[in-house]
Structures are given as structure tokens and as C-alpha cells.
Structure 1
Amino acid sequence: MNIWTKIVITWILFIIVSFSGVVYAATPVRVVVDAYNPPNMYLQNGHAAGLYSLLLDAIFQRMEHDVSIEAVPWKRAMDMGAQGTAGVAGIYKTPDRLLIYDYSDPIYTELLLVFVQKNKTFTFESVKDLEGKRIGVILGWSYGPEFDKARAQKTFEVEPVNRDQLNFKKLMDGRLDCVVASRESGFYEIARKKHTEILPLPKSLLSNPTYLAFAKHTHKKDFLMRFNAALRALKESGEYELLVKDFMHEIDFHTIPVQ
């Protein structure tokens, strides 16, 4: 093999490797979020919207990696995540899910509250106080180990739907004793529909961190390490706090009655 042949082969290999790298870098990571959990994550005009989309975009920009965020019903999001066709954002950790997914560092922390009609309040200190209640929940969601265990034991009755909007309507109609929802989602529904006769009970059910997770068989641990580094950088720069603060400022939480 003469010197010119070697040079040509070297250049061909260089172009192939370079092109492969560009294709890899340009391939967006596919992430799904809930389509019906405003204001944190929802579908708007055919696109994913809400706090999680905002934070994910900022984190992926720091990673210099494209992301495709889709909003789908939560049950479908969980199916896609388990199958490995997409990562799932806004997901909680549970013992069962830890067997399936590799998780990022926490993206955000949601406060889960128990919402009731103002004239039908009850004392709530723990899951035991929900015994015998009819409770509105979201299909496919976990509400913490204690709640999930009591649910499996049929300590109370749950009525799963695919969005909080339906749960709050059922609560207003007297078909539920209470609804468990994130602080943001519950307050959003109250403000949106002017449900001034609905309020959260004083004690929260759970403070639950949310994550980005990929099925273990997709081998995304190294990717999640890069994601975590970008998330830390976003927080250390102060940009994360500003993004959350500005987003929450748009939701008029202070007008919501709290007992």
C-alpha cells in the first residue's frame, strides 16, 4: 500500500467517524411528560408545555444536546418509559419502578395535598385518616408507599381518571370526598374554574421529588450523569431558581384559600 492510498483511507475513516459523531449529536433524546397535569406538564396546541418542559429545555441546552419532549396521557408515558421508547420526566420513585428505571437527580419537588369542599373538611394527619373515603387520583400515578399500600388493601376507594380537571369536577359535584393532587395542579384548577369552595387540608400528604428516568435496558446511566451535571450547573448559576420563580409568578397562588 503506497503513501497516497494510506492518506486517502485515513481521510475516508476521518470523514466517516466525524459524520457519525454529528449524526449522534444531532439525534434528539425523546422524553415524554403527562399531557393532563397543568401547570407542571400538559399538552398545549399540540406541544408539551409547563414547568417540566421549561426546565428540561434549559438543562438540555446546557448539555448541548437536542431533546424532543412529547405530552401524552400518563399511563401511556409509563408504558413508553418501561418499553424504552422514551425517557419519562416528572416521574416519582417507587420500589417497583427502581427495578425498571435509572433515575436522574431530582428535577423538582412536588407537594401533594388533599383537596376537599370547604363545608366537608375532616381531620387529616396521616393516610389512616383517609379510611372509607372516596378519593380522586390520576391513572398510573403513585402517591407514596403508605398511600399505595392502603390503596392496595382497599382501605379507601379510589376513582382514577386521566386528569385532575375531571377529579375536581367530581369533587364539586359531590361524587368524591377528596382529591389528591400536587399543590400546583390543585391551585391551578381552583383558580382556573374559580372553585372558591374547594380548599386544601392544612397537612400535606407527601413531599415527592420528581425525576427524569430511562428504562435500564436503554443503558442511559452515562447520559444521566451528564444530565445531572447540567442540572447542577443550572442551579449553581441561579438560573434554575429564576425559571421556577418566574413560572410560579404567573400562577396566582396567593388568591387560593388555605384553611
Structure 2
Amino acid sequence: MILCSFLGRSHTAEAYDGYLSIGGTEDSLLRYVDSAGEIQGMDVDIFREIMRRMNFDFTVHLFKSTARLERSWQDGRYDMVFSHSYNPERAKYLLYPKQSHLFLEWHFFMRKENKGRFQYDTLEDLKGLRIGVTKSFSYTSEFWKRGREGWYSLDEVTVNKLNLNKLLLGRIDLWPNGTLGTLYRARTEGYADQIDYLPKPLKSGYYFNTFVRRSPRDDIPALAEKYDRALSDMKKDGSLAAIYLRYGFELNPELLEAL
């Protein structure tokens, strides 16, 4: 089901050059609904500024289920989708711009009381453990493969935040998730002293706001180029780094150059 829809209003001008709809899943750092019922988050702030520079208005649609979001962009219901790493299968449906706006690492989270009990250097170290996963998340192909071969038990859900509840209740041993978002939520919601993560990331990569190939619009490639120009300008003038800092994260020059 759709969690919330939100009309963006990228600025106060009465006339816009266009309008875009973008879909995504709920995330405690990147995309969430605040107490006033408004969609907020680092992803939303970045996207709002890009749309302002493009002179576009927009609507955000948030889903609880990744599977339902996936069906929506496969069917061409929206023009864009928030923050995906590159995946050849997804690229059949989604056009990736040249400019990424996020670099994310994914670590295995655990209850702090289990620190020192688990280790991860290779997937073989996870044998016999119960790991919470979310349907339609890519993780890595090798991770999914070994889980389906029975190296470890995959406890699968369609709503990612359910894995956090399971972890805190001790129903799963580990939960692979985006590190920035998990730590941000733990800090803001008061359970940072209850969780920890294994040092080696499961994966890391660049994330892109993608364009839906089956969008009703016929100018998607041209829009992607315009989007790239706007995001590139944000990297150069410091506004992207300022949005990161607003959420407590520093975008260092090396990472900014790599995005």
C-alpha cells in the first residue's frame, strides 16, 4: 500500500516547466513521514533542490513494501524512483543518470550484547545464523545464493523496518542494512546503545535517483540530462554537502569527487 503522497512544491513560483512523480520506500534517514504527516528526509531534500533548479514541481509516493514499489515502476506508474544502486536487471526498467547523490555501505547489524560472538570476513562465517532480509533488496547475488543453499537461514519480510524489531527482540542474529540510515534512526529514536555492527561491509556502492523507462513521458532521456546538470551544480556550489551536514553527516572532498 502507499504510505503517503506529497506534493513537493520545489519553490514558490506559480509557473513550472514541468511536473514529475517519484516513488520510494520508507526509510528512517532518506524518506520518512514526520509528525505533521509531511514526507521529509535527506533524499527528499536533495531531490527538492534538484527540482527547484530544474523548475519542476513533483509528487512523492512512499510505499511500505519494496515489492509493491517494484511492481509500480515495472508498470510505469511513476516517472522516477528514489535511490537505487546499479543493477543490470533493474536497468531494463530504470534509466540511471550519470550523477549519483549517495554512497552507502551496508553492514551486518546485531544486538550489542552479541558483540564478539559473530564475525564476518566471508559468507562462510555466517553459517548457521538467522539473518533478517527484505524481499526485492539486492544485497549481493552471492549473499542470496548462499542463503538459498542453506548456509544460513534467511528470515524474509516485505517491509524492511520489521527486521529491526526482530533484531531488538532477538528473533534474528544479524540484519544487513544501510549503515548511515540505521545509525541515524538509532540515534534519533534512542536505541543506539542496543545495537552494533560487524566491521566489514557486506557491500558498498553509489546510489542514483532513477528514471522509469515506461513512464508516460516521452522525454525521459532529456530529463535525465537536465537532472545530471542540476546535481553536478549542487556538488560544485556546496549545496549537496550542506544537505548532508543538516543530517549530521560530513561529505568529505574525496567522496564528493567520486559521486
The interval holding the TM-score normalised by the smaller chain is 0.7 to 0.9
Superposed, 1:4-43 pairs within 5 Å as 25=16, 27-35=18-26, 37-43=27-33
Other structure's SS at 1:80 match:
helix
Q: Deviations over 1:174-193 (max 9, x none)?
A: 21010111112221343314
Q: Give 1:113 deviation, angstroms.
A: 1.0
User: SS in structure 2 opposite 1:75?
Assistant: helix
Between structures 1 and 2, the one with greater helix share: 1
User: How many pairs does the alignment contain?
Assistant: 226
TM-score by length of 1: 0.79
CA RMSD of aligned residues (A): 2.3
The aligned amino acid for 1:47 is E
Aligned to 1:238: 238
Pairwise mapping of residues 99-248 of structure 1 onto structure 2 (< 5 A)? 99-104=92-97, 105-120=99-114, 121-191=117-187, 192-218=189-215, 219=218, 220-248=220-248
The answer on whether the counterparts of 2:104 and 2:178 sit within 8 Å (CA) in structure 1 is: yes
Aligned-pair distance for 1:227?
0.5
**Runs of 5+ unmatched residues, structure 1:** 1-23, 251-259
Structure 1 partner of 2:253? none
Change (3 A) 1:204 1:161: same
Change (3 A) 1:33 1:199: same
Contact 2:84/2:210, CA 8 A, preserved across alignment: yes
Compute the displacement of 1:249 (Å): 5.5
Tell me the percent identity. Answer: 22
Matched, 1:81 2:77: no
Is the Cα–Cα contact under 8 Å of residues 183 and 192 in structure 2 kept in the other structure? no
Moved more, 148-157 or 76-85: 148-157
- State the alpha-carbon separation in 2 of the partners of residues 151 and 161 from structure 1: 15
Q: Kindly tell me: are residues 189 and 246 of structure 1, through their superposed partners in 2, closer, same or farther at Cα, counting changes over 3 Å?
A: closer
Indicate which of 87, 92, 102 corresponds to 2:85: 92
Residues of 2 paired with 1:25 and 1:187: CA distance? 37
How far has the Cα of 1:164 moved from its partner?
4.4
TM-score (normalised: structure 2): 0.79
How far apart in 2 are the matches of 1:217 and 1:249? 35
Shift of the alpha carbon at 1:153? Answer: 3.6
CA contact (8 A) 1:134 1:158 kept: yes
Deviations 1:132-172 (A, max 9, x none): 32111233211133323334444322223344442122112
